[in-house]
Amino acid sequence: MLLHRSRLVLPLAGPPIEDGALVADGSIIAGVGLFDELRAQFSSMDTVDHGETILLPGLINAHCHLDFTVMRGAILPNSSFSAWVRRINELKRTLTDGDYLRSIADGLAELRHWGTTTVLNIESLPELMVHLPPPPIRTWWFYELLDIRNRIHTEEVVAGALSFFEQRPAWHGGFGLSPHAPYTTSLELYRLARFCSEKYGMPFTTHLAESDEELRMFSEGSGPLFDFLAGLGRDMSDCGGRTPIRHLLEAGALPTGAILAHMNQLGPGDEALLAAHAGAFAIVHCPNCHEYFRRAPFPYETLRGLGFRISLGTDSCASNRGLNLFDEMQTFHRAFPGVAPGELLDMVTRHPAAALGHAGRLGELRPGARADFLTLPFGGATDDALDAVVENRAPPLAVYLNGHSA
Ligand SMILES: [Zn+2]
């Protein structure tokens, strides 16, 4: 057991604690409180004094594609989504298995460097995972499912992926399913993913309502994404007359608890439809990716007002400058200066933990939670601590996962 002391502990599960401490019993937190009181209670324990710092929970990145870390700066910002999809498909064809493995390793290292201890990663090449060492942070690998090019996915494939994790007890995290998006994934495949997610208790995420081109494809049956996908041979008979959100919801394609990435473009009738599902889904917003595509403002107030909890993600380096959640909080804060820093911090800790089904175990410091935390230098007043975290521009001084620093 170890006692970690810090000038200010931000448990998020409760108010900030000046001259606070955390007791790590192996990988689990055994206590959080005033240093003096914990010191008296656990007098034989070694102490790590983190000095003039803020100690807070490790951050959780709710949407990432580690496969594309090597594509940083490779695609110039362009407001056309279908042009970007064309370009990334061209680039993907030039990458070797070695490039992808390096991409995943570099991405994981960069995430940890910036204080992320849990990531929801969408994996388009799950067959490469047998070559990976245990990841340095808690990683949920979401098996990407799409069938525009007739890839075969069955329940047996999903069950096989589950046994992969059962054979790797040193891997922290788990396995989930990610039907890619309504424009690349058939409703039949969505329903299979929903069935497996419910049967095996696996988290489920998908891209939804990301671009105006996606909205136009489904609502009007036209536009650049429609033309691009029709050219690839996709059956376009499901397009016209309804929004992408209605397309999935009315088909029963989404399990309760589905994690919906983006939700940028609400069309006619979507608000009323979503109101009937408030709280049933989690939503992920990717602020830097949003800026990269020069999208219209994210409907944060609308979605929050409907009762949805919003998390933040980085998306991939194919549409972002890095994998740094502090940078994402700052970009979000510039777009929505009225959102309180405590709420913003919840978007990279408690909200994504709840979306994963790990509320109280990840994303906050409390007895029984995982000992995942980080420290930032801090010399200011306690009242300014939350702002200091949101505005932090330096890598954390220390990052602990399961009670261990790297
Ligand atoms: Zn994505």
Q: Which helix (H) or strand (E) holds 325?
A: helix 325-335
| pLDDT tens digits, one per residue of 353-368 | 999 999 999 999 999 9
Task: Tell me the domain boundaries of the chain.
Answer: 2-58+364-405, 59-355
Planar angle of CA 100, 103, 108, nearest 5 degrees: 130
Structure tokens at 203: 């988290």
Task: Compute, in angstroms, the gap from residue 8 CA to the centroid of ligand 1.
Answer: 35
Instruction: Tell whether the model's pLDDT for residue 158 goes beyond 80.
Output: no
pLDDT score of 208: 98
pLDDT tens for 89-118 read 889 899 999 999 999 999 999 999 999 999
CB atoms within 10 A of CB 333: 17
The alpha carbon of 220 and the centre of ligand 1 are apart by a number of angstroms equal to 24
For residues 56 and 117, the answer to whether their CB atoms sit within 8 Å is no
126: pLDDT strictly greater than 90: no
pLDDT at 151: 67
Tell me how far the alpha carbon of residue 70 lies from the centroid of ligand 1, in angstroms.
15
Give 91 Cα–ligand 1 centroid separation in angstroms. 16
User: Looking at domain 2-58+364-405, does it have CATH number 2.130.10.10?
Assistant: no
Strands (E), 224-339: 259-262, 282-285, 309-312
**Cα–Cα distance measured from residue 243 to residue 263, given in angstroms and rounded to the nearest whole number:** 12
Instruction: List pLDDT tens digits, range 20-36.
Output: 999 999 999 999 999 99
Q: How far is the CA of 14 from the centre of ligand 1 (A)?
A: 32
Q: Which fold has domain 59-355?
A: TIM Barrel (3.20.20)
Are both 2-58+364-405 and 59-355 of the same fold?
no
Q: How far is the CA of 391 from the centre of ligand 1 (A)?
A: 25
Q: How far is the CA of 11 from the centre of ligand 1 (A)?
A: 30
**Residue 155's pLDDT band (boundaries 50, 70, 90)?**
confident
Q: State the pLDDT at residue 162.
A: 77
Residue with tokens 């970007």: 84
Answer with the residue of higher pLDDT: 78 or 129: 129
pLDDT at residue 71, rounded to an integer: 87
